[in-house]
């Protein structure tokens, strides 16, 4: 069986990869291909195919796949091996409930420690979001804006979980924003949140964050219930 799975053709590998970088190069390459949709959900990733593609042994491939599984970008099943995970794992409401818990805590820890430079960085992301029409970029900028607000949280494990959640949302938005027909996304939520953060009003910041994420879950739940969304997910 020498048949190459098609989605892997979209992945470019330039030159031989130094052994000590193999795992991180493979992980980063696959991660961006999953996030931008070149590797759609349900795609099976075989260790040997990837080892051939990257010109490495199976060991760094296995390690990279394990990392991506920990980030919930892959799910590993007994029969198919590593498969690109569905866009939203399980119930969207549960996903957002967890995000609210994690991000509120990250916000609580971070707000008192943020500097004027952090505030300026977050403001710059809002300006970019305002001007941006490309949904891929919108997803990325939204993640960067939120992470800028949480970035000073001392608990790094918490921040990693928060970032996993934002990655999941980014991937979902990239795939579905256009179909949701939201048009231009309002930056009012983000602006109000940043204002509260700049005022170092932690309670208000968290309250606005909860409202922001709850609005998100409403839009997504309504969208996922539509026939268009169901056939779109099934096609992947
Ligand atoms: Ni947002």
- How far, in Å, is the centroid of ligand 1 from the Cα of 207? 14
- How far, in Å, is the centroid of ligand 1 from the Cα of 212? 7
- How far, in Å, is the centroid of ligand 1 from the Cα of 185? 10
pLDDT, tens digit, for every residue of 112-149? 999 999 999 999 999 999 998 887 788 889 999 999 99
Q: In 20-155, which residue ranges form alpha helices assigned H by DSSP?
A: 22-35, 47-54, 58-70, 92-110, 116-131, 135-150
- How far, in Å, is the centroid of ligand 1 from the Cα of 147? 10
Same domain membership, residue 172 and residue 132: yes
Which pLDDT band holds residue 205 (cuts at 50, 70, 90)? very high
Residues facing residue 81 across a β-bridge: 77
- How far, in Å, is the centroid of ligand 1 from the Cα of 146? 6
Which pLDDT band holds residue 103 (cuts at 50, 70, 90)? very high
Same domain membership, residue 118 and residue 33: no
Q: Which of 35, 57, 84 is the last residue of a domain?
A: 84
Identify whether 231 is part of a domain: yes
- How far, in Å, is the centroid of ligand 1 from the Cα of 26? 29
Nearest to 51 by CA among 75, 36, 30: 30
- How far, in Å, is the centroid of ligand 1 from the Cα of 122? 11
Model confidence at 81: pLDDT above 90: no
Same domain membership, residue 134 and residue 115: yes
pTM (two decimals): 0.67
- How far, in Å, is the centroid of ligand 1 from the Cα of 142? 5
CB neighbours of 80 closer than 8 A, spacing ≥ 6? 44
Full domain range(s) for residue 23: 7-84
pLDDT, tens digit, for every residue of 162-195? 998 888 877 777 766 666 666 566 799 999 999 9
CATH code, 34: 1.10.10.10
Same domain membership, residue 212 and residue 115: yes
- How far, in Å, is the centroid of ligand 1 from the Cα of 77? 32
Q: Which of 60, 84, 108 is the last residue of a domain?
A: 84
60, 21 in Cβ contact below 8 A? no
CB neighbours of 158 closer than 8 A, spacing ≥ 6? 102, 105, 106, 109
Same domain membership, residue 136 and residue 229: yes
Model confidence at 47: pLDDT above 80: yes
Phi/psi region, residue 81 (left: phi>0; alpha: psi -120 to 50; beta: rest), is left
Mean pLDDT to the nearest integer, 194-213: 96
């Amino acid at each position: 069986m020498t048949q190459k799975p098609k989605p892997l053709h979209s992945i470019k590998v330039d030159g031989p990869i130094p052994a000590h970088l193999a795992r991180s190069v493979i992980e980063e390459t696959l991660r961006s291909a999953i996030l931008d949709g070149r590797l759609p959900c349900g795609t099976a990733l075989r260790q040997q195919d990837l080892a051939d593609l990257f010109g490495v042994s199976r060991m760094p491939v296995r390690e990279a796949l394990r990392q991506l599984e920990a980030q919930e970008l892959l799910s590993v099943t007994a029969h198919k091996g590593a498969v690109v995970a569905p866009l939203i794992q399980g119930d969207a409401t549960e996903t957002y409930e967890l995000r609210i818990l994690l991000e509120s805590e990250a916000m609580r820890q971070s707000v008192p420690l943020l500097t004027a430079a952090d505030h300026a960085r977050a403001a710059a992301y809002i300006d970019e979001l305002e001007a941006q029409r490309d949904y891929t970029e919108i997803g990325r900028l939204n993640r960067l804006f939120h992470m800028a607000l949480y970035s000073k949280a001392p608990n790094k494990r918490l921040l990693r979980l928060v970032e996993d959640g934002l990655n999941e949302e980014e991937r979902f938005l990239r795939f579905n924003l256009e179909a949701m027909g939201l048009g231009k996304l309002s930056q009012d939520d983000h602006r109000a949140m940043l204002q509260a953060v700049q005022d170092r009003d932690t309670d208000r910041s968290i309250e606005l964050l909860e409202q922001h994420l709850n609005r998100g879950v409403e839009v997504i739940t309504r969208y996922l219930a539509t026939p268009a969304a169901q056939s779109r997910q099934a096609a992947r």
